[in-house]
Chain A
Amino acid sequence: MHSDAFDRYHHHDSALHRLDPRIKVVVVIAFILSNALLPDGAWTAFGLAWLFLFLANALSDLGLGYTFKRSFIALPFALVAVTVLFSIPGKPLSQFHFMMWEFTVTDAGLLRFVSIVIRSWLSVQAAILLVAVTRFPDLIHAFEHLRVPAILTTIIAFLYRYLFVLMDEVMRLLRARQSRSAAATGQRSGGGVLWRARVSGHMAGQLFLRSYERSDRIYNAMLARGYVGQLLTLNPHELHGRDWAYAAVAFLFILAMQFVGRF
């Protein structure tokens, strides 16, 4: 497997790509928080938030609809919030029967549901854009600057580095299982559910042992190359005037969004 199979970074040289990763992380988190703080049904503010994303997309050179295309991942979770449609007291909008229950959609419930979905949709797009314009090691480095403990960032860096290697391992295991699970046409392959679960468990155990032994080799190789307990980077990550300017504009925009949403 190629190392970019999981990578969400899009190589490019745009204003957003060049921006300091710390600024990007802080702005994205501020944007998500701002969405959470907007009251239900603040349509103008939601519109401004879309505009914010639109401008960011334009600055990123990835195409204006880039984040929109990939933003549907969080929508299945909206099912959880569906119940607010019926549960918040308000003016009844429509009624329908489903099996033995009668559901009444209220205006307040509808307003809340739509607001939750819009907020989460906006936030997920900001996160998608963040990883598309920032290299993952830079992202981790930014979190280190933002005082996330070094042991956590190092574990995450290792996870990112070896995920591809272990995915290859998983692929081999899955391929081996498949090639041993032949079945005549019309017949089911493999045993019962318990048997299948046991096979999967053995595969997980096998993967554990291979990973464990690999980590030993990795550590020895790292020692041989002069590992002193922390990962170093060649990217200096200095904040320039341009970074501060972008941050100031972004925060003014977010403040304006809050102002419009609340007054």
Chain B
Amino acid sequence: MLYSPVPMHIPDNFLSIAVSLICWVITIITLGIAISRTNKSLGERQVPLMGVMAAFIFAAQMINFPVLGGTSGHLLGGVLAAITLGPWAGMLVMTAVIAVQGLLFQDGGLVVMGANILNMGILTCAVGYGLYRSVLGSNRALKLTVIGVAAWLSVMAGALSTALQIWLSGNAEVQIVVPAMLFVHAFIGLGEALITVAAVLFIMRTRPDLIGERSESAQGGKGWILTGVLITLTVVLLSPFASANPDGLNRVATDLGFIQTAKSASGPLAGYTVPFLASVSASKIVAGAIGVIVVLAIVFITGRSLQSKRGLDAPAKTNRTTQPNPKS
């Protein structure tokens, strides 16, 4: 009906058992921490809240808007969940959403669910909340800008990690799967960023108490900032490396025992860029990613310095860059 699957839900058997297991271990450890933290900080009344919020994310994914040629933008929700509920509760909520999508709709497999939760739940919440946490206490325009960038980055981080997992399983070539996933998700991420910013702005205007400085969601520690910046850096640094130097990555994977078949650089795909979208080269996507980070850094630094001087023109300056274009 309205349910539109996102090309990030990995079905069963597209990942090798080793990769699935590693992802499960990371996911289980993170969720274990998330459960103990939420149990400590939230009372039993938060359980129905998280349950209904999980249903909200699921339902909100069906709100779409037409973009171009029959495609539509819509929400994935990781960043929105992390900002409104806090990072740990957001991860649990996203886990529930992904679990139901996999169990009930077969949108994503069961054995690979650990990887799906990691890509779409944990990474999105961590990068979203980390960047949001870094601008907590600053003005609204800067907050919204960073939320938009974080939403775009969360989709890119999920796409990158999905691509890397498939490649580590030996089921795709790194120089194809990484740029292809990043290219497609650069646009999906744009829709995510626009909707997330508008939704957060709406909540800020109508119920500022839910999302303000004193709300429960704002209680995450400073460590989140580091996590967010680390994921951002990984996405920015690894994307060009994976596209420009696939042999290096292949060698690492072979050394670690993930890929058995020897692959030669002069194979039939040497010099290949992006399949299906032949005219766009990987370097453009990479340039776009770096461009967004530069924009983020500039906005962040100007915002901070203007804020310390209590400059009145800060919102006007930051408004212009509210929606960074990944092709800039």
Could you list which residues of chain A lie within 8 angstroms of chain B, going by C-beta atoms? 5-6, 8, 28-29, 32-33, 35-37, 73-74, 76-77, 80-84, 86-89, 99-104, 112, 116, 119-120, 122-124, 127-128, 131, 136, 139, 149, 151-152, 154-163, 165-167, 169-170, 173-174, 193-194, 196-209, 211-212, 214-216, 218-219, 222, 229
Residue in contact with B62 in the complex, picked from A128, A161, A167, CB distance below 8 Å: A167
A204 to B194, CA, bound (A): 11
A112 to B195, CA, bound (A): 40
A123 to B17, CA, bound (A): 14
Decide: A36 and B198 in contact? CB cutoff 8 A.
no
**CB-based A-B contact count at 8 angstroms:** 283
Q: 14 extra interchain contacts, Cβ-Cβ under 8 A, other than A74-B11, A156-B54?
A: A36-B13, A74-B106, A80-B166, A81-B14, A100-B278, A151-B47, A156-B51, A158-B55, A163-B58, A165-B55, A197-B194, A211-B52, A211-B53, A229-B47
Decide: B198 and A205 in contact? CB cutoff 8 A.
yes
Decide: B52 and A173 in contact? CB cutoff 8 A.
no
Decide: B55 and A123 in contact? CB cutoff 8 A.
no
Residues on A with beta carbons closer than 8 Å to the beta carbon of B323: 194
The answer to whether the Cβ of B221 comes within 8 Å of any Cβ in the partner chain is: no
The answer to whether the Cβ of B10 comes within 8 Å of any Cβ in the partner chain is: yes
A197-B73 contact, Cβ under 8 Å, with A33-B17, A74-B11, A219-B49:
yes
Residues on A with beta carbons closer than 8 Å to the beta carbon of B142: none
A209 to B173, CA, bound (A): 44
Identify 16 residue pairs between A and B in the complex whose beta-carbon atoms are under 8 Å apart, listed by A's number. A73-B106, A80-B166, A81-B172, A83-B173, A87-B173, A116-B14, A123-B109, A151-B35, A158-B55, A159-B100, A197-B198, A205-B206, A209-B206, A219-B45, A219-B48, A219-B49
Residues on B with beta carbons closer than 8 Å to the beta carbon of A86: 267-269
Residue in contact with A88 in the complex, picked from B17, B39, B261, B272, CB distance below 8 Å: B261
Residue in contact with A229 in the complex, picked from B44, B66, B92, B196, CB distance below 8 Å: B44
Decide: B62 and A205 in contact? CB cutoff 8 A.
no
Residues on A with beta carbons closer than 8 Å to the beta carbon of B99: 152, 156
* Range, interface on chain B: 35 or more
Decide: B17 and A36 in contact? CB cutoff 8 A.
yes
A46 to B65, CA, bound (A): 42
Residues on A with beta carbons closer than 8 Å to the beta carbon of B171: 80-81, 84, 112, 116
A128 to B67, CA, bound (A): 32
Decide: B62 and A198 in contact? CB cutoff 8 A.
no
Decide: A152 and B48 in contact? CB cutoff 8 A.
no
